[in-house]
Structure formats: C-alpha cells, structure tokens
Amino acid sequence: MDHSECIFCKIARGEIPCAKIYETQNILSFLDISPSAPGHALIIPKAHFPTVLEVDPALGPDLITAFGKVGRAVMAATGATGMNVMLNCNESAGQVVFHTHWHVIPRIEGDGLRLWPGGKYDSMQEMSALAEKIRALVA
C-alpha cells in the first residue's frame, strides 16, 4: 500500500510541520491541532499502521514509555492532575486519521470533559455470557 499521502507519515518524515514534543527512533509525539484541552498530545508510531489492530507488538515498550514521558510532561506543563490516554479504532469509533495514534488528554478536576458515559448490563449472567463469547474469540 502507498502511504505517501498519509498526513501523519508526512509529519513523521518532516514534510509538514508539527508542534513536536517527543521523538525517538520509532515514536513521535506532537500537539493535536484541534485539542480537547490545552496540551492534548498525539503519540504515533513513525511506521504506518492504519489502526491499532495492525500495530507491531514489538512497539509495546516504546509506546508505554511514551505514554509515561509525554503524559508526565503534558501534565506538568498544563497543571493537570490526571490524563486520559485514548485511541479511536475505525470510523464507528471516531477515527479520522488512518495512521494509528494515541490521544493524551490532560485533565483537571472539574474541567467538565465527559469521555466515559457509563452503561450497565441487565444481569451478571448477561455480562458473564458476553465475556465467555469474547474469551472464545481471543486469537
């Protein structure tokens, strides 16, 4: 597949600018251009994976390291006391840029962001049955 027109590949190659905050051999982090809160950052693998489902598991340690380093710095810079690390996978989940990326959103008590509306199962039996179905499908 040709990724030459992918916007995040272009950012990773330095062909279009970004507000860079962290870079290693495999990972790049920069500020989201349309932030949910000031300091909202994105963390991307430099290599092109359309969604999280394709990401090379070998990048796990690099990504976890980036969550910690970028998250701590974003919180320190903005005075945040917490953060959400989020990822959208596929259009139904709100993914717009198909070069996978994690959102790091700094949070402060009372900031009013509502990211996780909680639902409920009708019964523990329903929950257990769904867990069993999913467990059987874990490859």
Indicate which residues carry an active-site annotation: 101
* Look-up of token digits 């359309």: 50
Phi/psi region, residue 96 (left: phi>0; alpha: psi -120 to 50; beta: rest), is alpha
In order, the DSSP letters of 16-28 are S---EEEE-SSEE
Output 6 or 85, the one with its CB closest to Zn ion: 6
Tell me if 97 contacts ligand AMP by CB under 6 A: yes
Q: Which of 11, 21, 29, 48 binds Zn ion (CB under 5 A)?
A: 48
Q: Which does 88 bind (CB under 5 to 8 A by kind): Zn ion, ligand AMP, none?
A: ligand AMP
Q: Which of 1, 53, 58, 96 binds ligand AMP (CB under 6 A)?
A: 96
What tokens were used for 41? 């950052």
Tell me if 7 contacts ligand AMP by CB under 6 A: yes
Give the number of residues in contact with ligand AMP, rule: CB under 6 A.
11
Output 52 or 59, the one with its CB closest to ligand AMP: 52
Contact 66, 58 (CB under 8 A): no
B/e letters for 10-39, b = 16+ CB within 10 Å, e = fewer, are bbbeeeeebeebbeeebbbbbbbeeebbeb
What tokens were used for 66? 């980036």
Tell me if 88 contacts ligand AMP by CB under 6 A: yes
Q: How far is the CB of 106 from Zn ion (least distance, A)?
A: 25
Residues of this chain that interact with ligand AMP (CB under 6 A) are 7, 18, 32-34, 42, 88, 94-97
Residues of this chain that interact with Zn ion (CB under 5 A) are 3, 6, 8-9, 48, 99
